[in-house]
Amino acid sequence: MHVYIGTYTQDRTEGLYHFTFDTKTGALTPRGAYGGVVNPSFLAPHPTGPYLYAVAEAGRNDGLTAFAIDESTGILTKLNTQTTPGRAACHVAIDPAGTTAVVSYYASGSVASFPIHDDGRLGPAASDIRHVGSSVNPERQEGPHAHSTTFDPSGRFAVTADLGLDQLLVSVLDPATSELVPHDPPFARVHPGAGPRHFAFHPTLAVAYVINELDATVTTLDWDAEAGKLEPRQTIGTLPEEFDGRRSTAEVVVHPNGKFLYGSNRGHDSLVIYGIDPDDGALSLVGFTPSGGQEPRNFNLDPSGRWLIACNQNSHDVQVYSVDGATGRLSSVGEPVAVPMPVCVKFRRLPG
């Protein structure tokens, strides 16, 4: 498989790193690095075509860049860039049909959608939704801070986790125009001071999960796919009860088999593992695994669910794990691989 890793560039020209991944041994082999995008902190591969999209988390005049992927070598070729209407672009998501890219902006508390043409290029922004409000944490929730957007399996609805509002805002996508329109009801609330960050749907159950950055919890929500409505049901901590250090989470991912949920803890520098009840999606703690470095951000499972790669931003490396499909537990494979300030990792299959 190809593996692409986005980083914070700082004073480097290159920020997007390409590896090949051996699905038999778990070995990562470097293949190249690419410039042209400042702080490509989040990436999204196209669901069907040979394209990759990267945000530029620059603070102002942030961009979204489209790349073509050579199917045999994985080499990237820049297609085009659209200047985005918000500030501090921190996440990009593609709808399941591959018609639209949606960017979330932390500083401006907004989301924008961009049409994806048949050749993978991006059109100008089709919509720009600005969030309004605040919540109970005066330092982190003084205003809206959109942190991620996730499409439901149908591609009809997009859910944006806004850390500043303690809300999960639901929008409806028009795939013909790539326009997003706020849904009715427009949002679901999580508990005050939670700080929702990233979000994931269960592959088969009518359930979703949001990891909350500010109080280090995960909330389970029931999902009404017809009505486009979320209802919180369970909240569980991401840290050992005895831990009294810094609390801050980053990523949440459901295993492809639907049996396990994983989250990343910054401060504790670990990955938390939960079991998922097969009937109602409720979570139960399985355990914790050290992230292999400092400040784990995004991580991802390969499509088979046999492997997980975690990005450790502050120790400048990524760690590969093998996944026990029966227990969900993780075992590190080899030493961490050096990558400067890695924050996002994405897999893409080789042809055949």
Alpha-carbon distance 124 to 44, whole Å?
A: 18
Q: Considering the chain, what is the average pLDDT of its residues?
A: 96
DSSP 247-293: -EEEEEEE-TTSSEEEEEEETTTEEEEEEE-TTT--EEEEEEEE-SS
Whether the ω angle into residue 185 lies within 30 degrees of 0, i.e. cis, is: yes
Give the mean model confidence (pLDDT) for residues 97-105: 97
Averaged pLDDT, 241-264: 97
pTM of structure = 0.97
166 pLDDT above the threshold of 70: yes
Residue pair 215/247 in contact (Cβ under 8 Å)? The answer is yes
Instruction: Supply 70's token pair.
Output: 């050579």
Residue 280 has pLDDT above 80, yes or no: yes
Tell me: pLDDT of 38 over 90.
yes
290 bridge partner residues: 270
Which residues in 141-175 are b (16+ Cβ under 10 Å) and which e?
bebbbbbbbbbbeebbbbbbbbbbbbbbbbbebee
Q: Is the pLDDT of residue 61 over 90?
A: no
Identify the pLDDT of residue 141: 98
Residues 177-230: pLDDT tens digits? Answer: 999 999 999 999 999 999 999 999 999 999 999 999 999 999 999 999 999 999
* pLDDT given for residue 87 in this prediction: 94
